Structure 1
Amino acid sequence: MAKVVLVTGVSRYLGGLYARRLSAEPGIERILGVDVIPPRHSVGRAEFVRADIRNPMIGRIMNQAAVDTVVHMNVIATPKDTGGRVTQKEINVIGTMQLLAACQKSSTVQRLVVKSSSAIYGSSARDPAMFAEDMNAKSTPRTGFGKDSIEVEGYVRGFSRRRPDVEITMLRLANVIGPQIQTAVTDYFSLPVIPVPLGFDARLQFLHEEDAIAAMVTATTGPSAGIVNVAGDGFVTLLQCLAIVRRPVLPVPMMTAGVIGNLVKRSGLADFSPDQVAFLAFGRGLDTTRMRKVLSFEPQYTTRQTFESFAGSLHSVVPGVDDVSDAVTGAVSGAAGSGAAALARVFERLYP
């Protein structure tokens, strides 16, 4: 049973929410919340410790507090949250290496819980309908958060071989969305005009922010579960999502997605990376049998309810929607003749 818990990434939204929920667990005696900047939100009864997990000092903090459980929440999904891709990779990969090195040297750590991601499975046309935990990606992510997640899990597996006495649970969370959290997916569906891969209607799975935290708390306080997929029941298709958010749509041929993606990223409104485009084109499905049988966890929200919860937080009226719709219609009708350049010019007018 966890008694003294160290939580990384406590200044981020999910990390702070997790610390607050864990504070309600009567069996937890002490919670240490670690991050490089002070949290702007409540962290419950967690004690904030200003520290960088990339620094070996994290080991001294563990030893002084006699930490028995480490919860790694600080694997960052979007580069704009850290100031760029270089910093994101340093925190995700180097930070995890240093954290695991400290855990390996610790004589008190008995359990490690890691917030991982279903992004490790990638997205491709050759994927199975549902990924089980023992399956590998058909098209391995080569860049961005997906690649970071693969490296993080690789380091955790190496740690488990060196410290077989430490219980390990890794939760591969489906894309987490909800009315409060801001992610690459919520930014994308919040765009005033939404670019979509032309000719595709992917099946998508989501996990509500409340269920993500509940699953992490269960992994912390319950029996060790190994690697577990976590997602809401059912699927929604991309076109169903677009109908729910009621935004104008800009169909984008896959060959021009890179051009449009760069324009969206430069606008600062959303991340439209190659991995994101692949996810929107091919989708991803998770087998959640282990979630129920091993983790003993049941999400409160289905995938559709999760997306509707997020959509309900959006502004119902998009300013200038008629003008935008006209521009989109013109872009689509002119795409065949002038290709990516025409789409790019129209998109620059939509997102100056």
Structure 2
Amino acid sequence: MIDKVIGAIQDAQTILLTTHRQCDGDGLGSELGMYHALKKIGKTVRILNVDGTPSKYDFLEPDKHIQYFDGSYDPIQDSDLALIFDTNDKRLVEPLYQQIETHCKKIVFVDHHPILKEGPRPTSDSIINVSAASTGELAYDIIMGLNIELDQPIACALYTSLVFDTQLFRYVRNSHRSHEVAAHLLKYEKQPAKIHQALFGNFTAAKLRFMAQALSRIEFYFDDQLAILLITSKELKEMGLKIDDSRDLIDMIMNIETVEAAAMFRQDNETDFKLSLRSKGQFPVTAIAESLGGGGHPFASGASVKGSYPDLREKVKSAMAKHLELISAS
């Protein structure tokens, strides 16, 4: 399957790279690593993302290679190929995806998320490998398959992808493979501690105050095995924070000893919520997310949902209950 992607890149001269909206370290690292690699073999490459990059990723692109569809960008020119990283669902690339379909001869998704049972299908030449711990590992394989020599910018970007999605190797699905890739990358990226600090250790005072307030509102159920939290976009805005500043909350909740699963709702308006689901591994949460129109990884999934918070919370509680009861009985 990866040979198809390599062939598509070899046949293309003009290539557009992008990732899902509300981009994260995996998507950004993958596209930036690929950008630097393809420039080395003479390709005409540009990155055009749906929306802006959180400031904590500034270290990744000192030369500001990324343009944004929701901001100032050069008109999209006809391209031979579009590579879309870290999603296989075109809806997460809208409204940019409509322009990609118009202007790009071939579209390839490079991703490690399961394909949704109900939803749009990725293009036929796409590479979807759910055994990869990060999309960055797939980008690494493509770059190696193209016989492109690594350098510091490529290694920095791909290492960022890998450590972000594995949370510093806490969530590694393929055992030694992720560590082997990281070891190779670290021959070129000599300051991994700076990457770790930028991704996981640069909390502002405002972010800590927000997190303290939010964590004090956690609701626990089923003998503290399930934790549910509601936050709002309004409170983030009032404290001068961005959506990205709320990402760490659910991972902090999962550090609680008794918690086997967690759900975090972010309320964007009266009836629109972004739901994040996590499990420590005793049971997958993907099916719950898919039943609500979302998807993701077995133990880290999400969905955009509509309704009243009490009703949505009850749906999640009920879906989690049968799994947690089995754990308690074992």
Greater C-alpha Rg: 1
Q: Highest relative contact order (Cα 8 Å, sep 6+), 1 or 2? A: 1
TM-score by length of 1: 0.29
Question: Which structure is higher in strand share?
Answer: 2
